[in-house]
Amino acid sequence: MIKDIDHISIAVHSIEKSAKLFEIYFGLTVDHKERIEKQGIKLATINIGKIKIELIEPLTKNSTVAKFLMKRGEGIHHIAFKVKKIEKVLNELKKKGVKILDREPRKGMKGKKIAFISPGNVAGTLIELCE
């Protein structure tokens, strides 16, 4: 079902400031930036081997990421797993009683199909599935 970790997402107030710290402290640089209006975020990715760190910044005060930042502050927002046939995986998880936040996959970074699983299922952690 799970093929690999795709990325670890960190909610931040400022992508520019956070990206600069990753560069200064660790020599890591941003390789991709994107705005996803439907999700109310802009993002930047930093590749480390086969895994990416994704910095996400809210575009509006009403976005889920803005609410996350107000409640918890900056930090890990979710972990994303690579899957094949996301619809099949979602159906299998539903049969197991897993609470799915997205009824149908939606478009995420670079147009990938994504879906989120409620943090109430696994140790309080929001999980994203990426095809």
> What is the model's pLDDT at position 1?
85
Find, among 86, 119, 106, the residue nearest to 36 by Cα.
106
Domains observed in the chain: 2-130 (3.10.180.10)
CA distances to 3, 11, 52, 67, 77 from 64, rounded to whole Å, are 27, 10, 21, 5, 10
> What is the model's pLDDT at position 122?
85
* pTM of the predicted structure, to 2 decimals: 0.92
- For the chain, 131 residues long, give each residue's pLDDT as a single digit of tens: 888 999 999 999 999 999 999 999 999 999 999 999 999 999 999 999 999 999 999 999 999 999 999 999 999 999 999 999 999 999 999 999 999 999 899 999 888 999 999 998 888 899 999 99
- The 10 Å Cβ neighbour count of residue 29 is 12
Find, among 96, 94, 114, 95, the residue nearest to 104 by Cα.
114
Asked if residue 112 lies in contact with residue 130, where contact means CB atoms within 8 angstroms, the answer is: yes
> What is the model's pLDDT at position 34?
96
CA distances to 20, 53, 75, 78 from 49, rounded to whole Å, are 19, 10, 21, 19
CA distances to 19, 22, 55, 58, 118 from 14, rounded to whole Å, are 8, 13, 9, 9, 26
